A and B are shown apart, each in its own frame.
Chain A
């Protein structure tokens, strides 16, 4: 097996909190991402799920250096050469931007309302001098065509478009520099369900066409199941489970994953749902709980969970989880939603 496209090792992103007084220094940190390691193969989609505040978006953005990582390595394999993105200067990073792009969650705020669709899509080309003159227009038209945008619309401004169409414009902008890796940050969660399916299918078509690797961030498990080959579950800045999509859904190994699964709405109204209710809110990432971070809300918690940090173990090939009781707990999985589409 060739080297993965992207290898993230022990990634940490801390945000300092300054104290309120005049000369106060940094006293505390919000540990948004606290030691996360994973890899992404070329042409693969890795799903990343977790509730709000778990640090999913921060993981995605710090890989792209939209947020500076505090610690850790982000190794990018560019035609066999390994480059640690976390150590590049801003200037060097600019040269790398063409290989990686971000598709935003909000299709309204992510497009500059003062630029035409053509200028928005062309931005990566123009900003990095990747193309000049007529070639820019040609590539804009090409990218727009891939995203099934009417070429007539290129002269228009974003206010002329609906959410789904705006998201297509955002996707066209992401793919015009022919990147290898795209972070989809909740890219469909702001859209109607019918439009969601359209955009998901578009993303998968583009992947088949260009061989993109996606880091697909979402909070909706059924969406993730539809598009991902592997799925990582994140809780309070750390991964709790990472497994091939099917394994994760059929036999989750972490109680938090089980709780997430049980919250997927059942299509058949005759089947009674038995969601595992989690008590309380996600704890503060400033002072995370000791031991296993999930112990404050875990229905299976025992004394050891409060003191000892569980190990990140490979249970089955490719199936990782961090729980003291992976071998003894028998957790309930679910039928794969849209299982026929999953690969």
Chain B
């Protein structure tokens, strides 16, 4: 480990208040100060926080439920709120009305905007009843119309509001990632921890086992496991089975890193010093080893999120993961598989945009955290 003397000022001199603060700053303060300088990582964190918040309270931000079908609104293109039309401008935003019309060339029923109809958007309107967080009964929605329907991101081929479904999917996809990462992490911590702390034969056996799990090709493994789900399972059961699969595939990488970190820490001078001071195993683990790799673990977790998200999305996309009526980003993208979607309803690709933004946010956040995580190593 290369450590660098961060203070070159002799301590006997008069010290500024800032220097005083720096000298008595704890590890987490130092990490925080360094993280604050990383705008990109902060942006990523902010986007993720907004996504998580909106997903958590999806029912409130949604004008409609996830499975509510709006009749006469098949494949409506996104309605963008506006303040002006031919009649003039108002302070209240509105969306143009929607009418069904038969296309004279294809003879298919189509929905088109009717700019002459003005549907005002109201805030905190009463709408479909729902349970916030699963137990608070409410019927107030953030926004909605008094008559007609509002579809910010358009609707799908069954007339369901894509915006509403997308927010619900955000919750499913993020939570499946979080639960998956947590399960993988607990597994990795136990397995990697045992290997790293005890070493020797235990380490050897666990290492070989991890390698075996790592070399199994991921897609066939996913397919095999997913095919094993009984058809009669409820969507909740499938959901938990999915998190387990993701975790079972994700732990080896994490376990390896935890083992490696523990092995290198065990030989650190200050750990030997603690042992020579008469400290027992629990004190060495609690006071010296865990704090030393806590920051790495947080970074590792953040970095492994995108893999979980992408795996879930990919599996659901090819129809092996979550199944309707559960909505996740992957399930939503299933609708975008057809040529008709590309041609007639490109807005069905909006969920892909969310996947990209979320994965990018996790990546830049993880990058920034990694740079900030070891304040005793000068990396820039």
A contact residues vs B (CB 8 Å cutoff): 64, 66, 94-95, 97-98, 101-102, 104, 106, 108-116, 123-124, 127-128, 150, 153, 155-157, 159-163, 165, 170, 173, 177
Q: Does B344 contact A (CB under 8 A)?
A: no
Task: A64 to B277: give the CA distance in the assembly, Å.
Answer: 11
Task: A58 to B262: give the CA distance in the assembly, Å.
Answer: 23
Contact assessment for B11 and A160 in the assembled complex, using a CB-CB cutoff below 8 Å: yes
Distance of A127 from chain B, by nearest CB (Å): 4
Distance of A219 from chain B, by nearest CB (Å): 18
Distance of B371 from chain A, by nearest CB (Å): 17
Task: A165 to B23: give the CA distance in the assembly, Å.
Answer: 13
Which one of A66, A94, A114, A128 has the greatest number of beta carbons of chain B within 10 Å?
A: A114
Residues of chain B with a CB closer than 8 A to A114's CB: 26-27, 291-292
**B23 and chain A: residue at smallest CB distance:** A160
Q: Does B276 contact A (CB under 8 A)?
A: yes
B contact residues vs A (CB 8 Å cutoff): 1, 3, 5-8, 10-11, 22-27, 30, 268-270, 272-280, 283, 287-288, 291-292, 375-376
**13 residue pairs bridging A and B, Cβ less than 8 Å apart:** A97-B278, A104-B269, A108-B3, A108-B5, A109-B3, A110-B273, A112-B287, A123-B273, A124-B277, A150-B11, A156-B23, A157-B27, A159-B23
Contact assessment for B272 and A162 in the assembled complex, using a CB-CB cutoff below 8 Å: no
Contact assessment for A110 and B27 in the assembled complex, using a CB-CB cutoff below 8 Å: no
Residues of chain A with a CB closer than 8 A to B1's CB: 109
B11, B272, B278, B376: the one within 8 Å of A161 (CB)? B11
Contact assessment for A123 and B274 in the assembled complex, using a CB-CB cutoff below 8 Å: yes
User: Given A114-B27, A123-B279, A127-B279 in contact, is the A160-B22 Cβ separation under 8 Å?
Assistant: yes
Contact assessment for A113 and B277 in the assembled complex, using a CB-CB cutoff below 8 Å: no
The DSSP consensus for interface residues of chain A is loop
Residues of chain A with a CB closer than 8 A to B26's CB: 114, 157
Task: A111 to B270: give the CA distance in the assembly, Å.
Answer: 5
Distance of B277 from chain A, by nearest CB (Å): 4
Task: A158 to B10: give the CA distance in the assembly, Å.
Answer: 14
A111, A112, A153: the one within 8 Å of B11 (CB)? A153
Contact assessment for A162 and B274 in the assembled complex, using a CB-CB cutoff below 8 Å: no
Contact assessment for A66 and B5 in the assembled complex, using a CB-CB cutoff below 8 Å: no
Residues of chain A with a CB closer than 8 A to B276's CB: 64, 66, 97, 101-102
Residues of chain B with a CB closer than 8 A to A98's CB: 278
